[in-house]
Amino acid sequence: MNSTQLGRPEVGHPPGAVGGPTEQPSAVRPAPAALPLQRKRGINTQLWRKNRSTILAVLSLAMGAVLWEILGRWVVNPLFLPPLSQVWVRFIELVQAGQLATDIGASSQAYLLGLAVAIAIGGTIGIAMAASKIIRDLLDPWVAILNATPTIALAPLFIVALGLGIESKVAVCAIVMLFPILINTYMGFSTTDEQLVETAKSYCASPKQIYTKVKLPMATPYLIAGLRLAAAHGLVGVVVSELFGARAGIGLLILNSAETFDSRALFVGIIILAVAGVAITYALIGLERRLAQWRATEQES
């Protein structure tokens, strides 16, 4: 009895085809050529979405630099707006002369010390006003009065009282940066959700834990906003304090450049202040994203 009689498929036939012709396997279709291109486009789209803000910021700065160079060379009198390339040449000259490092060091020292004093005093008073209604009622009129006073006008008074040394510069920077920090600290600690505080108390949290675990995280966006405002005001304060009398500093560089019609050196000082302001702002934004990740998640969504 052969295999056909038993009903088994013949050798070489696929299962299920009894004695029938062998089926040819279907040809494997090649991957479409467009698939790698689609994958590459997807990667490029993800990179664009992830770095869109940085790319647009760099593009905007590049366009501004090109426009500045064009205006300085062919449109505006170079005495009022020198080309950016000439400003860069003057920057290299000041660096090689050693003057610029001295000026940046003097201004940075006054700025950082003033910021530290403003954080210590403004933060303490802001927390105290948020914690006690009596302290708030006592200090609120003075805060309103002094905040409305043009504190820049007090610079000559500080210079007369403290001299031309670092003390008067620190005092001017501190008074300029004080109120943004104070007001935002008060707002941050006084607007904490009371339900969160009561929930923490129900779990027997101590007053210190309530401040460090509940109020401080909720107040972090306000604190960073106050620091950002104070940082910008402090740059103005350090320049103003050096305009009225200083031995070194970016403000003194700007003043001397204006008096000698050295517009290239004048713009060197202005660009240094602008770069410092941008760097401080982005550093504080990064600090906020690190300390208040829930806030960054809400903004991205």
What pLDDT digit, counting tens, does each position of 76-131 carry? 888 888 888 899 998 998 888 888 888 888 888 889 998 999 999 999 999 888 88
What is the average per-residue pLDDT within 188-198?
A: 77
Q: Cα–Cα distance between 135 and 256 in angstroms, integer? A: 46
pTM of the model: 0.74
Q: Tell me: pLDDT of 289 over 90.
A: no
Residues 252 and 245: their CA atoms lie apart, in Å, by 8
Least confident of 104-113, 123-132, 203-212, 246-255: 203-212
Residue-range domains of the chain with CATH: 110-246+270-300 (1.10.3720.10)
Query: Which segments of the chain does DSSP mark as H helices, in order?
Result: 3-6, 34-70, 84-97, 99-131, 133-148, 155-162, 166-190, 194-202, 207-209, 216-243, 250-259, 263-291, 293-300
